[in-house]
Each structure stands twice: as structure tokens, then as C-alpha cells.
Amino acid sequence: MKLQYQLTIAFTTLLVIIMTIAGITIYSQMLQMLIKDEQRQLEDKGELIVNFILSENLNSTHNAQRLLSMLNEYNLQVFAYDESSDQIIFTSVGMNTLETWVDRYDLNDTSQPLWQAGNERFVVSILPIYSTFSHQYLVLLTPLDDLHEVRQSLIGRLMLIFFIGIIVAVLISHYLTTKLVTPLTKLRHQLKKIERRKFDEMEEIKATGEIKEVEQSVIEMANELNSFIQSQRHFFQNASHELKTPLMTIQGYAEGIRDGIFEGEDAERGLSVMVEEINRLKKIINEIILLAKLDSQANIYNEEKIALQDFMDQVMARAIPIANEKGVEVELKTLENHTLTFDYEKMLQAVMNIVTNAIRHTRSKVEISVYEKNKQIRIEVRDNGNGIEEELLQKLFHRFVKGDSGETGLGLAIARAIVEHSGGTIKAENHPEGGAVFCLQFVKNEK
């Protein structure tokens, strides 16, 4: 069943349950409410009657006739009882029934329950009449069947309202669920486009709240997936090119030596080139294997707490000989003693890849800085070379992406994999005063 129908049924069922409970509660309380309302009406009418004849003695036939005339006008069933003489003064109800009521019920209790005569019940309102002659009671009665008719009429109206409410609930829930489900349906179509890798056909969905956040996440996922697919495509293209070039060189010299084209010094030079190309090929393959392991095998990392001061001393010890060969100065700026958690050897390789890259592209100097900012430890490597081209800057950490003097194009990709697995981030940018800056950021360890 579609989600839209499920939500519509759920909302409608919930509203029906609520309305049913409310209806049952109202139904159970309705009779009591009608009885109390009828008692109040009887009391109001009785007070008018009592006030009108308050100074008169109901033993008088004339006064009794006047009272009966008023009762007929109000369409009431009444009787008057004189407590002092224990007599019924007048009545519009049968005498046998009255005698039973007088014996059974206490007329001094004005908050009476329903009175019963045979199978019929009556709503009762008792009004005491105090006069100079005697202590009398005026009792007004209404058959409960009259209230049942009123209740049935109200129940009919409630049922009508109930069914109208259900119809309105279905329409409103259908409208709301349509507005809710439509973006989800469109989002499903977007995911189908991602599944079929039709990233150019992605469209914006008009939505709000969490659905809009999900849509933004889907778009970001699609962009990242598209970037990954393009990166993988470029990786295979570049990898095949990088591997094909040394293999062709080796094949050319090997066939030339075999066929006697290269002899003597030419053969020796060809062998030397073959050895160099084999070493280069071996280095590329080793770095590809390492990068694959870094991406897929978490157990190759042996993380431990490392003192940055000792770590950076090792970086300097390895960087200075390389810098001296290039005639470049490497400077380590003021370093506070911080502690980070990472794999020592792999992080050393990552930082050395960046430092070596900076030495290769700088003019005269490489500055390495370690400092704390916003509760993060930063390692910055800056050179004073020509900087990085803007087009290259966006894909600098992709595999087989390299500058003019790059080697395999895998060093920065390896560095990024190691840094990100250690919970850090790495980025590169051009310095306003010239040269490039590589920044590694790590969350500071809590002491």
C-alpha cells in the first residue's frame, strides 16, 4: 500500500477513535445533563408560581384553581402536599401514585433522584412553600420519556456531525498527506536518477522542514557520487597511462637489445633506463596498493598517542637532507608540546609527502608551523613558490593529479587518506603573499 494511503487511513482512524470516545462520553453524560437542565427549568417555573401565590393558602379552592390554571399554561404535571395535615391539596397525577411517592420519598430533600411509578420515571423538582398557615410543598414533574426524545434528537445531530467530521477528516488528511508524500515521491524519482547515474537530470524539489534537509543531503550525495565516479574514471585513465608509459619504454629497449639494435654503450644505457623505469613502475604500483589499503582496510592503522614535538623533530630530520639537495631552507616555527592520536609511521609519511612537495615547488624556503586555534591543532606547511593553479587547486588531492614537477600524482591522495582516517582534515590554498599553504587540522586530545 502506498504511503499516502497509509497516512490517510492512519489520520482518519485516529480522528474516528477520538470522535468515538468523545461521542460515547457525551452520550453517557447527556441524560444527566438533560435531567439537571429540566430540573432547573422546573425550578424556575415553580418559583414563578410560588411567588405569585406565596401569600395564599392552597387549601382554598379559589387559590387552587388559580394554580391549576397557571400549571396548564406551563404544561406541567404537579401536586401540592401539606406536611402539617399530611394531605394532598391538589394534583394532576393519579392518587395511588401520589400516595406511593409521599411514602417512599422525602420531600424535605430537594435534590431528589428520579421518581419512578411502575415502568415510567419522572424528573422531579421540589419547592417548599412557607406560609403563615402551614408548611407545604409544590412538586413539579416531567416524564423522562420526553427527555429521551430530546436526547435521541441530539444523538441524531451528533451522528450527523460525526459523519460530516469523518468526511472532512478524510479530505483534510488526504490533502495533507498529498502535500507530504508528493515531495517524497519526487525524491524517490531523484534517487532513481542517481541509481541510473543521470546526475544532469537532477531537479530541485519544493519542500520544507526535514524533507528539504533530506533533499539537500541527496543532492550533496549525488554530487559526491558523481565526483567519485569521475575521479574513478580519471583514476583508471591516468593509472593506465602512468603504467603504460614505463612499460612501453621497457618493452622498446628490451626488444631493441634482443634484436641487436642496441649494442655496447647503447645497450648498457638501455638497461639502465629499464631499471629506472622498473623502479618507477614499482613505486607507482606500491603507492596504488597502499592507497587501496588505506581506503579499505582499517586494521592497517596502529594508532597511539604521539607527542607532536618529537614527531616534528623526525619530520625535520628527514626533510633537511632533501632540502639541502635542492638548496632550500626548511624552518620549524615555535612549537608547543601537544599530543595527538594517530599512526606514527603513516602520519610521518603523509606529512613528509606534503613537505617534500613543498620543497619541490618552493623558490628558497619552506616554513612548518604547529599551533592551536579554536581547540584544534594545526600543522601548516608553506612555501614561497608560484602557488597552485586555480583549476588544479580544486582536484589537488585526487589520484594521479600532479603539477609540472610532480612524480606519481599519488602522494597527496595518500596524505589525505591518512589524515582523514586519523580524524583530521587537509586543505590547500594559495597564500596572499605568494606560494602555497597546506593545512592539516586535528581535534585536540582532552587531557
Q: Which residue has the higher pLDDT, 251 or 26?
A: 251
CA angle (310 as vertex; 309, 315 as ends), nearest 5: 95
Residue 144's closest CA among 119, 123, 117, 116?
123
pLDDT reading at 68 higher than 70: no
CB 122 within 8 A of CB 115: yes
363 burial level (CB within 10 Å; 0-12, 13-18, 19+): exposed
Average pLDDT, integer, range 59-82 = 69
The owner of cell 585513465 is 237
143 — phi, psi (to 5°)? -60, 140
Q: How far apart are the C-alpha atoms of 355 and 8, rounded to whole Å?
A: 62
**Angle of the 344-361 helix axis to the 308-326 helix axis, nearest 10:** 30
**pLDDT band with cut points at 50, 70 and 90 for residue 200:** confident
| Ordered domains of the chain (ranges, CATH) | 3-151 (3.30.450.20), 209-296 (1.10.287.130), 301-443 (3.30.565.10)
Model pLDDT for residues 300-320, shown as the tens digit of each residue: 778 888 888 888 989 999 999
Mean pLDDT of the chain: 78
Per the DSSP assignment, residues forming a β-bridge with 382 are 367, 437
Give me the long-range contacts of 155-160 (CB less than 8 A, separation at least 24): 155/27, 155/30, 158/23, 158/26, 158/27
Which amino acid, residue 57? N
DSSP for 153-168 reads HHHHHHHHHHHHHHHH
Q: Which residue has the higher pLDDT, 106 or 383?
A: 383
Average pLDDT, integer, range 117-126 = 78
SS3 368: strand
Q: How far apart are the C-alpha atoms of 165 and 159, rounded to whole Å?
A: 9
Model pLDDT for residues 225-241, shown as the tens digit of each residue: 877 777 677 667 666 76
Residue 409: CB partners within 8 Å, gap ≥ 6?
Answer: 238, 242, 399, 400, 401, 402
Model pLDDT for residues 316-358, shown as the tens digit of each residue: 999 999 999 889 999 988 666 788 888 888 899 889 989 998 9
Going by the DSSP 8-state scheme, the letter that residue 408 receives in this structure is S
Taking the CA atoms of 49, 55, 60 and 62 in sequence, report the sign of the dihedral they define: negative
Model pLDDT for residues 352-390, shown as the tens digit of each residue: 989 998 998 898 899 999 888 888 888 999 998 888 887
Greatest C-alpha distance within the chain: 159
CB 133 within 8 A of CB 118: no
Give me the long-range contacts of 378-382 (CB less than 8 A, separation at least 24): 378/439, 378/440, 378/441, 378/442, 379/312, 379/351, 379/439, 379/440, 379/442, 380/437, 380/438, 380/439, 380/440, 381/351, 381/354, 381/355, 381/437, 381/438, 382/358, 382/431, 382/435, 382/436, 382/437, 382/438
